[in-house]
Amino acid sequence: MTVQVRDVLASKGSDTVFTVTPDATIAELLDVLADHDVGALVVSDDGVTVLGIVSERDVVRKLRGLDDARSAAVSSIMTTDLRVCSPDDSFESLMATMTEHRVRHVPVLADGELVGVLSIGDAVKHRMDQLAFERDQLTSYVAGG
């Protein structure tokens, strides 16, 4: 049975996707990242259409040359060359995308609309859960139960 991105989203639990508008300030961005304890936010005007993504890496790497960085707009540091996936994509393809492109957060789009975000932490947790289940099944089989 092939695990799909939708399965990982379902096991993650929350349907909440945190976003920030492109005209928000970096100070506002930092508050939202800290308040929700997340490492990245999807940049969107309406919470559905994805314009980009902004991560802690973007903050660290792109703020260096900006004058008055805290009042600069999110659009000045966001990443627009995105890697996205679909709920129908395989979990393996998601992990391959994260590894190959060295991204830690992948927006999930269904019919072009934002339905979730998966982080490398979500992927690792899901894989660890899979391995624990397989171990338990093998242990039960070997024990004759």
Distances (CA, A) of 14 to 57, 89, 107: 24, 19, 14
Report the candidate in 19, 20, 29 with the shortest Cα–Cα distance to residue 69.
Answer: 29
Q: Residue 137: pLDDT above 80?
A: no
Domain that holds residue 71: 5-142
The predicted pLDDT at position 132 comes to 74
Residue 87 has pLDDT above 80, yes or no: yes
List residues bridging with 53 in a β-sheet: 42, 79
Helix (H, G, I), strand (E, B) or coil at 64: coil
Total domains, the chain: 1
Q: How confident is the model at residue 62 (pLDDT cuts 50, 70, 90)?
A: confident
Q: How confident is the model at residue 126 (pLDDT cuts 50, 70, 90)?
A: confident
Give the integer Cα–Cα distance in Å for 42 and 48: 10
Q: How much of the chain, in percent, has pLDDT values that exceed 70?
A: 97
Write down the pTM of the prediction: 0.85
Q: Average pLDDT of the chain? A: 89
CB-based contacts of 8: which residues, under 8 Å, 6+ apart?
91, 94, 118, 122, 123, 126
State residue 1's pLDDT score: 66
Give the CATH number for residue 134: 3.10.580.10
